[in-house]
Each structure stands twice: as structure tokens, then as C-alpha cells.
Structure 1
Amino acid sequence: MTENAPRAVPVPAEPPRGTRRRRTPRLAATSGVLTYVFIALAVLLPVPYMLQLPGPVFNTLGDYQGDPMISVSGAKTYPTDGRIDMLTVAVSGGPGRDTFASQALGALLNGKETVIPTEAYYPLDTTRDDVTASNAVEMSSSQDVAVAAAMEQLDKPYSVHLLVDDVVAKSPAEGKLRKGDRLMSVNGKKLDSDPDAAQIMSATVRESNTVDVTIDRDGKSEDISLTPGDIDGNKAIGVTMKQDFEFPVDVKFNVDGVGGPSAGTMFALAIIDELTPGAMTGGKHVAGTGEITPDGTVGPIGGARQKVAAATEKGATLFLSPADNCAEVLSAADQSKITVARIDTLDDAQTTVEQYAAGNTSDLPKCPADGADNNEKGQ
């Protein structure tokens, strides 16, 4: 070999087939750290959703924190038995609270929780205090309306007045109407003692260029003329209103920390049960839900799946479902464990409970499983 001949450079041998090259410790460590980072993000990353979960259950015929949940005075009452459960929905997330991606995924998998976009329920500027205040107002209103519906069902007369609840600053009503004014008539249409007075007032304002209102202020009648203006894109005079009921009985509710209007139907049933002889349930365990109007119409609510889960967990054997919630109730994971009856009115609800108490389950109004006629019966 000559001195200038190129030197041979050794080439690393290929590893035997079936063997793997080992990763360097640094690469393996980096990969592991990234995995943990991605997991942490999945667990801790807030998402714009809120979760509906089964909430606490309250027996409207029983006690709450040592006192009756509903007590009636001013009329003869009767002992009762069994349970008429009002159902609630717990909410995770929403304004002022975070929901994390892992929670949302878990809720989708367990079948008893519902994941909904927060914006579908609340405007972006809604605060937690706004939600709490709104829920409290709705609960208070639902109690008054439940009493009114029960009085209607029992043919007990009552009166209702429409009051100014607040006046919007720099609105047509400012300086003319005051909080507490009793609205007697609008453009010649009687408002006082009409359960639909708020709707009549609102419709008249929308349809009129001039609104002539007769009010009662501190026992004196006054006539006031207003010109509706544009308030947040709506034709309005700038007042919020509330109903003030006068009932022949005094009903007290002991429900702290629960909001919303969905207990109205169960409240009304419990009041009727206390004011009529015998136990409406026959000692059985009934649960249900539904917003109610003074004339006894039962309206749909949110969280029906969660309420079915809560009812079955507590051992209820009959679930009263508003007609418009039937599809959601029948899709609930636990609905096969309980008898479901469809209700459209308070009278439907009372009749259904009484039939069930008597052992007549064959003729209960049922939720149609396939979109059939809502008047179809049988369970």
C-alpha cells in the first residue's frame, strides 16, 4: 500500500433484523414530557360549555331543614302521605365558572349529563350574580303562579294586580310612572284582576303610537299619557312589571338555594293535596316537573334527562313529564325504570296521580315513542 492511498473508513454495521435502535435518553424524556403536557391541557383547558347534571330532590309534602317545605294556612287542611318530588338540575360551568374539556368528554360518555354551549343560554356579558338573581326571581314568581293555578283548580277565587316593578332611566315612563304603581287599564282595556294583564299591556304598547294608562297610586286614580320609544331595538315605554296576587289562603314556601320556574306544577299539586281530603298519591312515590301558568297550562322545562335520573335514583315510580319534554324524557338513560306519564295541564297531572294511586296504570296518558298522536293513552 502506498503512502497516499485513501484510508478506509469503517461503516457501522446494520443491526440484526428484528432489533430496534434505542432512543437516546434525552429524546425519550422529551416525548414523555410532551405527553404529560397534552394530558394536562385536556384536563385543565376551559371550554365554552356548561354541563347539566342531576340535582337535589325535594319532597314537596315533606320537611326541609326541619320545617314544612310548603305550609298552608287560612283554610282547612288535611293530612297526606306519600311523596310528590320536585326535581332540580345542577349546572357545572356557565357565567363565572369554568368547564374543562375532560369534564365535557366525561359527560358525553356517561349518558346522564348534557353538554350545551353556554351562549345558547346566556349572553356573553352575563355574570354569575345575574344568573343567581334571575333564578331567584323565577322561583319566587313560580310559587305565586303555582298558588294561582291551585286556586283555579279548586275553584277558589283570587285577585291579581299588575304593578310597575321598575322604571328605565331616560325612558318615556321616567318621571311619569313609579315603582309600585298599580296598572288599572291601558287604552281602554282593563288590566286589573286579569291574569293576562302583562301580555295585554305589552301588546298594546307595541301596537300603539300613544299609550294612555290609568293607574292607582297610593289609593288615588291617575291618567297618564305616554309615547313609546325605541329601547334596545324594541318599541317600549320603559317599565318592567310584576304580578301581585291576593289569595284566599296563605301559602309559605321553604325552598332556599333553588331557582328557576320548573317546580311550579309540583308545588301546585302539593297545595291541592293539602287542601283536599285524602292522600292524592295513595302513599306512592311520584316525581315530576313542569312550569305552570295561572290557568293550569303545563309548559316544558330544561334538563329533563337529568330529572329522570334524579327521580329514579330516589326511588320514584311515576314521572310526570310536560308534553313538550316527552322526546327528551324517553331518551333518558333511566326512563325504562319508571312509569312516564305525559301532562298538558294541572288537571291532567292531578287526574294522573289519582289514577296511579288507585292502581289504574293502563289508561295513563303516555309520551308517544314515535311521534304518534299525543292523545294516545296506555303505558
Structure 2
Amino acid sequence: MVDQPPAAAALPDEPAVPDEPLVSDEPLASDEPDEPDDLGPAPRTSPRALTLSIGMLLTAVLLTVLVALPAPYAVSSPGPTRDVLGDVGGAPLITINGAETFDSSGELRLVTVSSTGGPGYPSSVSGVLRGWFDASTVVQPVETVYPPEASQEQINEENTAAMVSSQENATVAALTELGYEVPATLAVAGTVEGTDAADKLVEGDVISAMDGTALTTYTQLIEMLGAVSPGDTVTLTVQRDGEDVDVPIVTGTNADGGAQIGVYIDPTFDLPVDVTIKIDDIGGSSAGTMFALGIIDKLTPEDEADGAVIAGTGTMDVTGEVGPIGGIRQKMAGALRDGASWFLAPVSNCDEVVGHVPDGLRVVKIETLHDAREAITAIGAGTADDLPTCTAQDVAAG
């Protein structure tokens, strides 16, 4: 998550010039030499003291300039956290209409990373130096983090789009986890080159059935494909130019070894419950898991966390799968700083977790929203001792 960059650090105070002893050569002239002179001897600065003062002044100016100069590094540090069950600016972070909601006594905190070094927010030399000596901060060459041609406007737009998508995915996944049916229109946004679908389906087709079974939800399509072996032929019914067209598709193999039809789908969901998520100062998609947990907590009478402060991270897709994120070490540090004693981490990030968990924080690894839901319930009930955590085996497996 790119967050707003931290406020610029204050420049160091100018060093004080040490006092030199005053040197008296002769008394001041007076019309009445017999009376004591109240002004005392005239001060005189030695050449050595003058040289030292000028040198220290120049050094202070030089240090001030160096501190203010931009540095060619990106600095990532623990960012703010937000309780998805709480308020932002006096309004609930998550608002739900169309269903009964319930209060909670615990906290579910999304976590962020604060970054400098991107367009419009250069890192300072002092920030880089602090980062090198802070175990919770990462300093990298700026070109490894931000594309050289990217503008701040482009980065902001991408982060905003990712946040909007994250909120919708979290809502669909949470409602599905709770047993709601979430109808969807499954429009084809494009095809994968080299697949059988590439020459048979076109952008704008709407998939309405597979092998004669009507498709009403995105989850239903995924589940039906899960029962198909790669290489099998499925018949998709699509709405094209106002007509239903049956299209036979020879399935391919996806990255997990399952069957795929070779299309990009842009689903439009008809949500049975109105969920609004208000969070304007954070971008990216890594808060999806915590958004989904917050929705579940509000829609269930059980007080899942039951007073516990639980932080976590992970992208969320509409099927409830938790995906990897960046900056997990900074996020764990921010969670501990803001009072969390538990942290939910994607299993795909375990290689970055092992050996870097701050003292006082317990990490639970999760792969799905259902895993995360069971974890917060166990934590709230005080039965979390057996929850899985990241281990060396997870690192080896990754």
C-alpha cells in the first residue's frame, strides 16, 4: 500500500558556537580616570575563535543543504493502521444498509506502508540515513520501486483503482462467505492469446450458461470449471448482439494445473446488501482481507474478536482467496506499534515473515477468507494456540 508520504522531517538546529574568553587590552578612556568604569573591559575575539565560528557556521549550512537535498532512494517505513470496525473522521469506515448489523468490542486493523522516493515525494538524505539504521524500514534504489516514466498522477490513479476493486472483491467474498447469493453478469473483457477461446469469443460477449447450466454467479462459474479436466471441451452459451450463441471451447491449463477457458471476465455484481467503505487517504489492494473480515463481523451477531486487537493484510478476490502483498515487515511493525498482538499474514508471504516477526506479535498464516474468519473467532475465544503460523517449511515450499 502507498500511502501518503510522511511529513518532511525538521532540519537540525544550527550548532552553537562555543564561548571564547574575553580579552582585555586597556581600559576605556574617561574624563574622570579616578572613578571606576561601569562598562568593564572591551571584549576582543581571537583569530582562532573567529575561524572556528565561521567554520562551524559553514558546516551547519552545508549539513542543512545536504539534509534538504533529494536522495535517489525509495524509503518504505511502517505506515498508519486503521480499525475497519471503527470510524474515520467521525463516520464509520464500513457502513452497511439493507441488513441488520451488530457492534463489536475488538479491533480489526488494516496496515499500510508509508513511502517516499516516488514522483513528487523525494526521499531526503536524513530519511535515507535513518532508514539504514531502522530494522523496520527498507531503503532501495528508487528505480527498483518506481518506473522511471511513471508520474505521481499515474501512481495515484492506479492505487485508487486498486482500492476500489479491493473493496468490491471484499464485499462479494464476505457476502458469499456468509451464504448470500451474489448475482453477476459475466461479460468477456478479452481472450488469452493462443487459447481455443481466442478465435471464438469476443469482447462484449456475456456468458450465460455452461454445458446447458445457467450461470448466475461468478463463483458458480469457478466451481464448474473446477470439475473440468484440462483438455476437456465445454460449451459456453453467450449473449451476442441480442442472441444466444453456443460456443464449444477446448479448455487449457491454468497456473495451478486446473482447467481454464482462456477469457478475461469483467463481472458486474448485483449486491444483495449495500456496503460502503470510506477510506480516502489509502490506496492499493492489500486491505481486501481486512475489509472482508470487517463486513463479516458487522453482519454477524457473534463478537468474533471479543476485545482482541488483530491486524492483518492480504489481497482478496471474489472467490475468497487471499493473495500476497508488499511491505509485510513494515506492516507487522506498524501493527505492533498500534496495539495489535495478532497478525494475519498471507501464506504466500511467509518467506518474508519467518525471522522478522517483532517481539510481542503472533502471526497466523491464512490462505482464504474462511481461514481468516476462523482465526479471528479463535483469537477472540481464547483458543488460538493451535492456529498455524509461518514456518521454515513454508519458506522452502515457496
So what's the TM-score if we normalise by structure 2?
0.67
Match of residue 227 from structure 1: none
1:126 alignment partner, one of 123, 136, 150: 150
- Does residue 286 of the first structure (1) align with residue 310 of the second (2)? yes
Q: Which amino acid aligns with 1:314?
A: D
Q: 1:258 to 1:56 in 2, by over 3 A?
A: same
Deviation per CA, 1:114-147: give whole Å up to 9, x if none: 1123322332110000011111100000000001
- Aligned to 1:302, the other structure's residue is in SS state coil
Q: Which amino acid aligns with 1:268?
A: A
The 1-side partners of 2:90 and 2:48 are apart by 68
Q: How many residues in Structure 1 have an aligned counterpart in Structure 2? A: 309
Q: Which amino acid aligns with 1:120?
A: T
Q: 1:375 to 1:282 in 2, by over 3 A?
A: farther
Task: Please give the residue correspondences for 1:297-312 in structure 2 after superposition, counting only pairs within 5 Å.
Answer: 297-312=321-336
**How far 1:241 moved relative to its partner?**
7.4
- Does residue 353 of the first structure (1) align with residue 376 of the second (2)? yes
Query: Given that residues 79 and 278 in structure 1 are in contact (C-alpha distance below 8 angstroms), is that contact kept between their aligned partners in structure 2?
Result: no
Query: Given that residues 71 and 125 in structure 2 are in contact (C-alpha distance below 8 angstroms), is that contact kept between their aligned partners in structure 1?
Result: yes
2:385 alignment partner, one of 359, 362, 378: 362
Task: Please give the residue correspondences for 1:21-36 in structure 2 after superposition, counting only pairs within 5 Å.
Answer: none
1:161 alignment partner, one of 185, 189, 198: 185
- Aligned to 1:326, the other structure's residue is in SS state helix
The 2-side partners of 1:271 and 1:86 are apart by 13
Q: 1:373 to 1:89 in 2, by over 3 A?
A: closer
**How far 1:301 moved relative to its partner?**
1.0
Match of residue 7 from structure 1: none
Q: 1:245 to 1:116 in 2, by over 3 A?
A: farther
The 2-side partners of 1:355 and 1:272 are apart by 15
Match of residue 106 from structure 1: 130
Match of residue 316 from structure 1: 340
Match of residue 249 from structure 1: 273
Q: 1:252 to 1:221 in 2, by over 3 A?
A: farther
- Aligned to 1:244, the other structure's residue is in SS state strand
Match of residue 139 from structure 2: 115
Query: Given that residues 51 and 107 in structure 1 are in contact (C-alpha distance below 8 angstroms), is that contact kept between their aligned partners in structure 2?
Result: yes
Match of residue 343 from structure 1: 366
**How far 1:43 moved relative to its partner?**
2.6
The 2-side partners of 1:216 and 1:255 are apart by 39
**How far 1:340 moved relative to its partner?**
1.3
Give the root-mean-square deviation of aligned CA atoms.
Answer: 3.9
- Aligned to 2:279, the other structure's residue is in SS state coil
Q: Percent identity?
A: 35
The 2-side partners of 1:121 and 1:213 are apart by 43
Q: Name the stretch that deviates more: 156-165 or 54-63.
A: 156-165
**How far 1:375 moved relative to its partner?**
12
Q: 1:24 to 1:259 in 2, by over 3 A?
A: same
Q: 1:192 to 1:154 in 2, by over 3 A?
A: closer
The 2-side partners of 1:32 and 1:283 are apart by 55
Query: Given that residues 46 and 100 in structure 1 are in contact (C-alpha distance below 8 angstroms), is that contact kept between their aligned partners in structure 2?
Result: yes
- Aligned to 2:95, the other structure's residue is in SS state strand
Deviation per CA, 1:23-60: give whole Å up to 9, x if none: 99999899879866874664344333211122221111
- Aligned to 2:359, the other structure's residue is in SS state helix
Task: Please give the residue correspondences for 1:152-301 in structure 2 after superposition, counting only pairs within 5 Å.
Answer: 152-162=176-186, 183-184=206-207, 193-194=217-218, 220-221=242-243, 242-301=266-325
Deviation per CA, 1:169-216: give whole Å up to 9, x if none: xxxxxxxx99xx564489x99998446999xxxxxxxxxxxxx99666
Query: Given that residues 59 and 84 in structure 1 are in contact (C-alpha distance below 8 angstroms), is that contact kept between their aligned partners in structure 2?
Result: yes
Q: 1:93 to 1:253 in 2, by over 3 A?
A: same
2:393 alignment partner, one of 349, 372, 375: 372
Q: Which amino acid aligns with 1:345?
A: T
The 1-side partners of 2:123 and 2:215 are apart by 45
Query: Given that residues 183 and 192 in structure 1 are in contact (C-alpha distance below 8 angstroms), is that contact kept between their aligned partners in structure 2?
Result: no
- Does residue 83 of the first structure (1) align with residue 107 of the second (2)? yes
So what's the TM-score if we normalise by structure 1?
0.70
Q: 1:214 to 1:48 in 2, by over 3 A?
A: farther
The 2-side partners of 1:39 and 1:307 are apart by 32
Q: 1:305 to 1:151 in 2, by over 3 A?
A: same
- Does residue 148 of the first structure (1) align with residue 169 of the second (2)? no
Match of residue 208 from structure 1: none
